[in-house]
Amino acid sequence: MPRTGRLTAAATLLAAISVLATACTGQGGNTAADDPGKDVTLNFWHGWSAPSEIKAIEENIARFEKAHPNIKVQVTGNMTDDKINQALRAGGDKAPDVVASFTTDSVGKFCNSRAFADLNPLLKKSGIDKEKVFPKTLLEYTQFNGNQCTLPLLNDAYGLVYNKTAFAAAGITEPPRTWSQFTEVAQKLTKTSGDSYEQVGLMPTYHGYETTPMRLAAQWSPTYFGADGKSNLAKDPAFAKMLTAQKDLVDKLGGYEKLERFRNTFGDEWSAEHPFHTGKVAMQVDGEWRPSMAKEAGVPFEIGTAPLPVPDDQAADYGKGYLSGTIMGIASGSAKQNASWELVKYMTTDTEAVVAFANAIHNVPSTLAALESPDLQVTPESKTFLDIARHPKSGTTPAQADGGTYQLTFQDFAYAVEKGAVADIPAGLAKVDQQIDTDIAKAK
């Protein structure tokens, strides 16, 4: 599962990655000279920490080592990107050779700084046509300016998880498909209690866990940057429309302050006390992991899943959603890049390995072949997210030289809009564009 603090974590990494750029050699796969057939031990660092996730990684590595008996993999889990970057800067035998990261928003920085090696030469050497292996959207968030410094390792698709029992009690027979229906259903499902709530149909504020501006904006199919590379938020009406629609929903459900007071009573996102589990929230913007987590928490109601609603004027595109996921790369400073490539290639392109890992941790597979594999375990709930991942109009946030900073700038503006602190959204977006362009120019 992803970590909600990805953007915040990405912001703290920017300085570290910038420093790292001066220490990295920028070595690409075409200059790797090690013999992958010789006995070697690789250091593989990743961020998973839950027992089931650790077990799934260990099983995947065991399968790899069986197929490559000369390569041993020393696995270190629960590693933050901050710790990974510190180790990469320090270098030496204990530094990671291969890294799996949740921070897709930092791909632009990883590539631009040459912290990770360009995998294009290794893909070509192995005869792998990446366009035929990975979905187009996943390739978009794993490369920057032609530098494929990471590859997708599983996929996260975002949709709507809802309480079917609450729907039935409110006389709602199917999930909403358009934003106007979404607003109507959210109001029907909201039950007030004095100056607070017994239940909200949806927690629409941007701090409501996965209900981020980027997740919602994806339903409007926005264009973050123009053909000239400049920030495009003021010119593309999608952003103003999304911000206005979300603010309208906040107001109709009781207003920002009332909703935020209620949100502060919520349990941890990754615990059994999640507000969807406890019935405080009837609809949740979330990923493919939520239904299984809710079942493990023993919820007393039936769970449904659906794509997020789309704007009324884009009803024909219903089924799309926001995509992101885990990335995998090879440290540019590693002296074992060819051997490291064997591990990366196995974990990211081997259909059996990808499917087994996806089944184990309830994520969406990241290759086209794995998405269609008969061995993929598909439940009625997970099928929704698999379909979102396949939808041709599902989108993501593009990689940039400043990593996720441009998203933070947009997100901060969205916070101000939902509070009612912005009188002129188009004018505000124009200022956001200026800030984003300035930050990217500095990063370059």
CATH architecture of 159-317: 3-Layer(aba) Sandwich (3.40)
In degrees rounded to 5, what are phi and psi of residue 318? -55, 135
Q: Does residue 12 register a pLDDT over 60?
A: no
Q: At 47, is the secondary structure helix, strand, or coil? A: coil
* Amino acid at the residue 299: V
pLDDT in the model for residue 33: 85
Radius of gyration of the chain (CA): 22
Q: Does residue 6 register a pLDDT over 80?
A: no
* Among the listed residues 232, 228, 206, 167, the one whose alpha carbon sits nearest the alpha carbon of residue 285: 206
The CA distances from residue 317 to 127, 161, 246, 255, in Å, are 35, 19, 19, 30
Where do we find the tokens 């220490």?
Answer: 23
pLDDT tens profile 237-278? 999 999 999 999 999 999 999 999 999 999 999 899 999 999
Q: At 163, is the secondary structure helix, strand, or coil? A: strand
CA 253, 259, 262, 263 torsion: positive or negative? Answer: positive
Break the chain into its structural domains and give their ranges: 6-156+324-387, 159-317
> Where is average pLDDT lowest: 64-68, 339-343, 366-370, 403-407?
403-407
Could you give the CA distance from residue 5 to residue 11 in angstroms, rounded to a whole number? 10
Percent of the chain with pLDDT over 70: 93
Cα atoms in the 13 Å half-sphere on the side-chain side of 301: 19
pLDDT in the model for residue 31: 60
pLDDT tens profile 129-187? 999 999 999 998 999 999 999 999 999 999 999 999 999 999 999 999 999 999 999 99
Q: What pTM did the predictor assign?
A: 0.87
pLDDT in the model for residue 102: 83
Q: At 398, is the secondary structure helix, strand, or coil? A: coil
Q: Does residue 327 register a pLDDT over 90?
A: yes
Q: For the domain with range 6-156+324-387, which CATH number is right: 3.40.50.1700, 3.40.50.720, 3.40.190.10, 3.30.300.30? A: 3.40.190.10
Q: Which residues contact 152 (CB under 8 A, 6 or more apart)?
A: 134, 138, 139, 141, 142, 325, 326, 327, 328, 348, 366, 367
Q: 221 or 3: whose pLDDT is higher? A: 221
Output the six-digit token pair for 23: 């220490």
Could you give the CA distance from residue 65 to residue 37 in angstroms, rounded to a whole number? 13
